[in-house]
Amino acid sequence: MALHLRKRRTAIVAALTTALLAPISATAADASSQQGRALCTARRDPALAARMSHDIRAALSSRTGSVSVAVHDTRTGLFCQLAGGRRYDAASVAKVMMMEATLRRAQEWRRGLTAWERRKIRPMITGSDNNAARRIWNDLGHPYLSRFLRRVGTTATSLGPSRLWGLTRTTAADQLRLLGVLTGARDVLKPTARAYGLRQMADVRRDQRWGVPAGMPRGIRAHLKNGWLPRATHGWRVHSVGAFTGGGRTYRIVVLSHDNPTMAYGVRTVERVAQAVHRGLNKGRAVGQGLTPEDEISEVPDGSVPETADDVDPAS
């Protein structure tokens, strides 16, 4: 088994190194052109929407791969969406959906979370524990999770096959809706359940706090979950979703990506977008979190899809 893993890692490193050194393909160039169409609207502040559209374009102007962005700010009504309907393997961001579905089921059954559920939810979110996620996934089951997604109003999220929750397919638009369950969808979860979910996401451990918090000002609190997974097709999936509260406002940022040659490359792409959003929404406020140093970014996958599942052909 150890020899098998070493061979696999060597092959992955070789493939990713080749991708880094290869010239930008026509496909990547086309993706960059699509990213240039980032669109933001804000009825209460059209100037902000124009600036944000420009800044998101600038953040992605030199990046390769496929990137989708969705942003919503309650104070200004700002809404941004770039390739919001493009589908990605969710990897570990699927754990937010699982946590919310567990909270919703407890609410429907007119009870609080059980001790077992609490013992699984917290490590699943704060440390991205995959054993806890597997147990929650199996306990909820496909039928209940499907009903939950319909309740939330997702339009393009499909559950991973069998035990492969990391191969749940999702979009930036749907991830924004799922974050909204914790910040504004009062008909899905009660205030105490929303507060519990946000608290777990606020306590994500330090080495997993990269991504959408980059550029966040002091006085703002991040509630986030990330996913990072390489596959045989589309290279590294690097995703970051988060809700931000404080300073009299609540806003949500979703950045999903694949075709990244390395995890570090994907993290930097996500963080450049996040910086632009935080800067635009918090003019004049001192930055509390900068870009993640590259030497602090691990190239170890999140484990949301077992290596033995490589024979499963992910959708393109």
pTM: predicted TM-score of the whole model, two decimal places: 0.88
Closest-CA residue to 174 (of 151, 159, 155): 155
Domain ranges of the chain: 40-296
Longest Cα separation, the chain: 59
Assign a CATH topology to domain 40-296.
Beta-lactamase (3.40.710)
pLDDT band (50, 70, 90) for residue 184 = confident
The CA-based dihedral angle spanning residues 151, 153, 154, 159, taken in that order and rounded to the nearest 10 degrees: 10
- Look up residue 129 and give its DSSP letter: -
Q: Is the pLDDT of residue 35 over 50?
A: no
Contacts of 217 (CB under 8 A, 6+ apart): 247, 278, 282, 285, 286, 287, 288
Q: Is the pLDDT of residue 163 over 60?
A: yes
Percentage of the chain lying above the pLDDT 70 cut: 85
Token pair in block for residue 11: 């092959």
pLDDT of residue 312: 58
Secondary structure class of 210 (helix, strand, coil): coil
pLDDT band (50, 70, 90) for residue 138 = very high
**Mean pLDDT to the nearest integer, 273-289:** 93
**Mean pLDDT to the nearest integer, 105-116:** 98
pLDDT of residue 310: 59
Residues 76 and 85 sit within 8 Å (Cβ to Cβ): no
pLDDT, mean over the chain: 89
Q: Is the pLDDT of residue 211 over 80?
A: yes
